[in-house]
Structure 1
Amino acid sequence: MIGAKDIEAAIADLLPVMSRMLRNLRSITGTRELTWSQVAILSRLRRGEAMTLAALTRAEDAKLQPLESVLVELEEKGLVRRRSFSAYRRQDSFVLTAEGCRTRFEVRLAKHGSIMDACAELTTAELETLISATTLIGLAKHEWLRAALAKLTSAEQETLISAVDLIRHLENS
């Protein structure tokens, strides 16, 4: 039976490992001279889909002014372009340029390649555990982790706790 101390220990192990993995992913995007915020915006914009500044702000759970400066930087790099529909700038929408689409694809490919390389070292059982844990973490992404873990069944908690070691292994690969 999984107790509160097991959950606390799993959280204590998982959060720093996830932070290091994110730093590693950020370093991959840094090779293309893009900030993490710029990569996030490129990922949010899909080919041909325009988004307003307000919609991007809500989707990224970000503040308006910093996000607007990120979009200006992306415009200057030729990765996005602004579509103006009125005199009110907040109603302008942004779309990826052809260069933005190519850059978005390259960054995504590099991040996925890095993770795939690390996963290649896992056994089938370890991959199944990791996939199950990833699904559970995805379900909890909008809630604080401790509260989300408390809602899981014992089997789900055991899967997630056992995946912490696998995630740590991937991070060290």
Structure 2
Amino acid sequence: MNEIQRDPDAVRVTALAGELRVVIGQLKRRLREQSNLGDLTWTQLRVLSRLDSEGPATVTALARAEGIRPQSMGETVSALKAAGLVSGAPDPCDGRQTVLSLTPACIKAIKTGRAAKDDWLFKAISTQLAVAEQEQLAAAVQLLKRIVAT
């Protein structure tokens, strides 16, 4: 740590990293405010996101992907079923398993939420930033893509 404190470039990058983390957290919270899937836990949101991006899955596969016990995932899935967000069907390859997927109502809610987030971002960018600043933001987005690709 002492080496970082002595190196002005390292001090600058450390401060930038902290600022970026805070601002991204604030942006995530603002975006979360724009869409409302109810009072879901972080794990429930992760399951819905995974089913949305990767498609239907079993409780076991979801538990493995999230790094939790199948019993815990079972509780999470039960709550999502009760909320009408996921449904299950027998696995065609193994009738003992249930394949979970998003319900049409959940898919609609996700699409509506994404549209609300996009709308909020559009309004914020177009009203708060000049054209030159919008171009700077576009360049910054490309830099962020490079960071997350590593």
The CA distance in 2 between the partners of 1:47 and 1:98, in whole Å, is 15
Match of 1:102 among 83, 86, 108: 108
Q: Which moved more, 1:66-75 or 1:96-105?
A: 66-75
Q: How many residue pairs align between the two structures? A: 135
Distance 1:41 1:68, change over 3 A: same
Residue 6 of structure 1 aligns to a residue whose secondary structure is: helix
Could you tell me which runs of 5 or more consecutive residues in structure 1 were left unpaired when the two chains were aligned.
Answer: 141-173
Quote the residue 2:141 is aligned against: 131
The one-letter code matched in structure 1 to 2:77 is: L
Match of 2:3 in 1: none
Aligned twin of 2:123: 117
Residue in 1 aligned with 2:38? Answer: 33
SS at match of 2:143: helix
Question: How high is the TM-score relative to the length of structure 2?
Answer: 0.71
In the TM superposition, residue 81 of structure 1 has moved relative to its aligned partner by 0.6
SS in structure 2 of the partner of residue 46 of structure 1: helix
Q: Which amino acid aligns with 2:68?
A: K
Distance in 1 separating the partners of 2:49 and 2:16: 30
Answer 1 or 2: higher relative contact order, Cα 8 Å, separation at least 6: 1
- 1:24-63 equivalent positions in 2, closer than 5 A: 24-29=30-35, 31-35=36-40, 36-46=42-52, 49-59=55-65, 61-63=66-68
- Is the 1:50–1:95 Cα contact (8 Å) retained in structure 2? yes
Percent of aligned positions with the same letter in both sequences? Answer: 24
Distance 1:11 1:128, change over 3 A: same
User: What's the TM-score once normalised by structure 1's chain length?
Assistant: 0.63
Give structure 1 regions of 4+ aligned residues with deviation exceeding 6 angstroms: none
Consecutive unaligned residues in structure 2, runs of 5 or more: 1-7
Structure 1 stretch 40-49 or stretch 94-103: which is displaced more?
40-49
What's the CA shift string for 1:95-154, capped at 9, x where partnerless? 1121121112112222222223222233342232222133123214xxxxxxxxxxxxxx
Pair 1:22 & 2:13 matched: no
Write the distance in 2 (CA, Å) between the matches of 1:137 and 1:54.
Answer: 32
Q: Provide the rounded CA distance (Å) in 2 between the counterparts of 1:16 and 1:93.
A: 38
Larger Rg: 2
Work out whether residues 48 and 95 of structure 1, in 8 Å CA contact, stay in contact via their aligned partners in 2: no
The CA RMSD measured in Å over matched residues stands at: 2.7
Q: Secondary structure of the equivalent of 2:88?
A: strand
Q: Tell me the amino acid that sits aligned with residue 19 of structure 2.
A: D
User: Over residues 61-116 of structure 1, what are the superposed CA-to-partner deviations in whole Å (9 max), with x where a residue is unaligned?
Assistant: 3423443322211111222111233575xx42201121121112112222222223
